[in-house]
Amino acid sequence: MKFLLGSSSPRRAELLRMIGLPFSIEKSLYNERDINLSEDILSYSKELSVKKGEEILTRVKSDLLLTSDTIVELSGKVLGKPKDKSEARKMLRNLSGAQHQVITSFAFFKGETLDLVDTELSRVTFKELSSQDIDHYIDSASYLDKAGAYGIQDHGQAFAQNLEGNFSNVVGLPLNRVLDYLESRFGPDWRNNFE
């Protein structure tokens, strides 16, 4: 059986490698702007993860496909991936000293059928950030491909004063939930099902 990760995120791929899952990668070409951001951010995130999978399945066949979408939400506002340094600085200033939510939705497709879509939510509180903290981070880290302009897996973790919930969810994929799914569908020896 072949497992396909429908994401170009190196962080998600690294997480799957940690649990010993063999997989190949296919980036979704779905345009996220095709969905209007609704007030229900959880539903919006779920819909994005499903639409990404549906788009991939129009081009590629897979035994098992996993797609995902991560959103950073601060006071009801979604912080996506910054388009430049100026926007990244603004996002980090807004996150400074505040609690935000990291929402990751994930969808599993067996063949062409949606088998599960669910969401994990974590809360992260940032310490107060100085202008020097922000400038140093922006100058030394890759922020453009990260929702909220930071990665908790790099030295952005120094900003996190408190984390409630799953660390890997904040990285981009709730690894415990992936394991739960694989074990529930394929049993404790699930690794034997994949090549």
Catalytic residue annotation = 69
Q: Of 127, 145, 137, 6, which is closest to residue 67 (Cα–Cα)?
A: 6
Residue 48: CB atoms within 10 A of its CB come to 23
27: nearest Cα among 4, 7, 53: 7
The residues with which 36 forms a beta bridge, in sequence order, are none
Q: Are 151 and 141 in contact (CB under 8 A)?
A: yes
Bridge partners, 164 (sequence order)? 123
Max distance between CA atoms of the chain, in angstroms, equals: 50
Q: What size, in residues, is the chain?
A: 195
DSSP 84: S
CA 94/CA 61 separation, integer angstroms: 42
